[in-house]
A and B are shown apart, each in its own frame.
Chain A
Amino acid sequence: MGIAATALPLAGELDSRDAALLGALENGLPLVARPYAAVGALLDMPEAEVLARLARLREVQVIKRWGVVVRHRELGYRANGMVVWDVPDHRVATLGRRLSHFPCVTLCYRRPRRPPDWNYNLFTMIHGRDEAGVRANLGHLVASCRLEGVTHEVLFSERRFKQRGARYLGGYAGTAGRAVVPS
């Protein structure tokens, strides 16, 4: 199994208090009047420090997005099509950037091929209210980017067995002060 090529050096970016804070937030902010103070109380961290650390983590983009995280299916977006493409390796970055500009594309990633079982190297997620809508958007992508000759498949989601935020740090318990971030 390969190591992700984009794993970035962490030196100077995160200390153990940042890690403890992110661990405490893995289930989200408590919905109370002073949520940052409430999180800080769990960690013995002043509210002002919680706010300052979160602002910095956003600035250095360890936190990519800070806000309300919605579940698409509950909002009426029942169709979730994962489109997988077999793109020549020298074209994948250009095409990935191009596809990610279409509003219907909600995620776009390069992933490794695993021959002989899996030969797709580009993944785009398209959310729609129904499958016909997803297929129409896919047709639009294919036509706009001249992808008729590129092998691809769309995998529609069926049952959702689990959906929650990632727990890189194993949740709150015991993370305070622990040096959890690998180098």
Chain B
Amino acid sequence: MAMGTDFSPLERALLNDHQHDFPLCPRPFAELARRHGVDEDTVIRVLQGLQGSGAVSRVGAVVRPNRIGASTLAAMAVPQADLERVARLVNGFDEVNHNYERRHEYNLWFVVAAPSRQGLSRVLADIEGATGLPVLDLPMLEDYFIDLGFSIQWE
């Protein structure tokens, strides 16, 4: 897998410079190409490569939580031997978008999003039902961070 030092200068620029500055114009990749001194096809091809390798999740919107729909951070304390099975059950819910193991008694952490708070509560109850384990529901109450993306320090 490509790591920090393996990216070309164009890849680095595309990864770092447009996390909150992506053009809203009919030919956005041509606009990026103009800024980086390459052609439109090159920009598209390089971005396709970055998306294919997983470095880029997508080009698109990060939607402010609680402005559309409802979301929450949920946690479960899962017996270690059962973790993979429970994680697969949780992944099976389309409403779950992030799901990580963390080193703690609460060792499974996942984000759930749904069109409404009622829908969200239903999903959490279904996850409890499917796994037989209680779920901590930790919705965001206040956001202190204006997310301007992630400034990458290349090694």
A interface residue numbers (CB < 8 A to B):
1-8, 10, 13-14, 19, 22, 25-29, 31-37, 47, 51, 54-55, 57-58, 61-72, 74-76, 80, 82, 92-93, 96-97, 99-100, 103, 105-112, 114, 117-118, 123, 127, 129, 153, 155-171, 180-182
Contact = CB atoms under 8 A, between A and B. Distances in A.
Contacts of A54: 24, 61
Provide the main secondary structure of the chain B interface.
Answer: mixed
Contacts of B79: none
Contacts of A169: 68-69, 115
Contacts of B20: 65-67
Interface of B: 1-5, 14-15, 18-22, 24-30, 40, 44, 47-48, 51, 53-73, 75, 87-88, 90-91, 94-104, 106-107, 109-111, 113-117, 121, 124, 136-152, 155
Contacts of A55: 24
22 contacts: A7-B70, A32-B44, A36-B26, A65-B149, A67-B19, A67-B59, A68-B149, A70-B15, A70-B19, A75-B3, A75-B4, A76-B4, A93-B142, A93-B144, A110-B140, A118-B106, A155-B103, A155-B109, A162-B110, A166-B63, A170-B115, A180-B115
Contact of B26 (A47, A61, A182): A47
A22 B63 contact: yes
Contacts of B72: 4
Nearest to A30: B59
Nearest to B30: A33
B60 A168 contact: no
Given A62-B64, A63-B62, A74 B55 contact: yes
Contacts of A28: 51, 57-60
Given A63-B64, A110-B140, A157 B100 contact: yes
